[in-house]
Amino acid sequence: MAFPFSYRLSDGRCCTIRIVTEEDAAELCALVPRADIESDFLNRLPGEFDMTVQQEREFLRDRLADPGALQIVAEVEGKIVATAGASSGKLQRYVHQAELGVTVLKDYWGCGLGRRLTESIVDWGRAKGLRKMTLHVFVDNERAISLYLSFGFVEEGRLKGDGLRRDGSYSDTILMAKHYVEPDS
C-alpha cells in the first residue's frame, strides 16, 4: 500500500493515512494519554505515558530509520486521530515477524478507521516478506478480536491474568498471529 492515501470514513469524513513524521511528536504526546483514558484495552493505564515531545520525536526518528518498522497516523480535518505501527525488532531470530499495535480515539470508533489502519499494516507486512504478524489483545475486546479474525489472524495462545485493568481486576490476553507463510510445524 502506498502512503499517503485518503478515503471516506463510514460517517463521510475524509481521512488521510500517512507515514508518521518527527513533526507529529506533539500531537501524538496528546493523543496517547487521551486514548489511554478512553479505552481500557491499550497497553498502558491512564497516566503511564510519560514521554516528552523531544523523547517522542527521538522515538519517531528511530522508527522512521528502522527498515523493520512502520508507524502510520490517520488524520481527519487536519488532526491526528489514530496511530498504528508494527516492528520486527533487531534480533535475527525474529526479524521474520512483526508485532502490530493500533490506537484510535473513541470519537472515531466504529467508522472503519481501525480496519483501514490494520489493513495498511497487514499489507506492509506482506510486502516486506514477513512470515508472521503478531498482536496481543484482551480477551474481552470483542470488536478488535472480530476485526483481527477478519484479516486471518488466529489465536495462538492465552496469558492468564495477564493485564491489570482499571478496576483492579486482571484480564487474560490472547496472543494472535497472521501467518503470511504457513508455519513449518
The enclosing domain of 160 has a CATH number of 3.40.630.30
Q: Is 147 among the domain residues?
A: yes
* Domain carrying residue 71: 5-179
Question: So what's the pLDDT on residue 185?
Answer: 61
Q: Radius of gyration over alpha carbons of the chain, in Å? A: 16
Q: Is 77 among the domain residues?
A: yes
Q: Is 38 among the domain residues?
A: yes
Question: So what's the pLDDT on residue 182?
Answer: 87
Q: Is 185 among the domain residues?
A: no
Question: So what's the pLDDT on residue 183?
Answer: 83
Total tally of structural domains belonging to the chain:
1
Mean pLDDT score of the chain, rounded to an integer? 96
Q: Is 184 among the domain residues?
A: no
| pLDDT per position as a tens digit, 86-132 | 999 888 999 999 999 999 999 999 999 999 999 999 999 999 999 99
pTM over 0.85: yes
Q: Is 82 among the domain residues?
A: yes
Give percent above pLDDT 90 in the chain: 95
Percentage helix, strand, coil for the chain under 3-state DSSP, each rounded to 5: 30, 35, 35
Are β-strands 97-104 and 132-138 bridged in parallel, bridged antiparallel, or unpaired? parallel
Question: So what's the pLDDT on residue 163?
Answer: 96
How far is it, in rounded angstroms, from Cα 103 to Cα 172?
20
Strand order in the sheet with 97-104: 5-8, 14-19, 69-76, 79-87, 97-104, 132-138, 170-179, 154-164
| pLDDT per position as a tens digit, 55-80 | 999 999 999 999 999 999 999 999 99
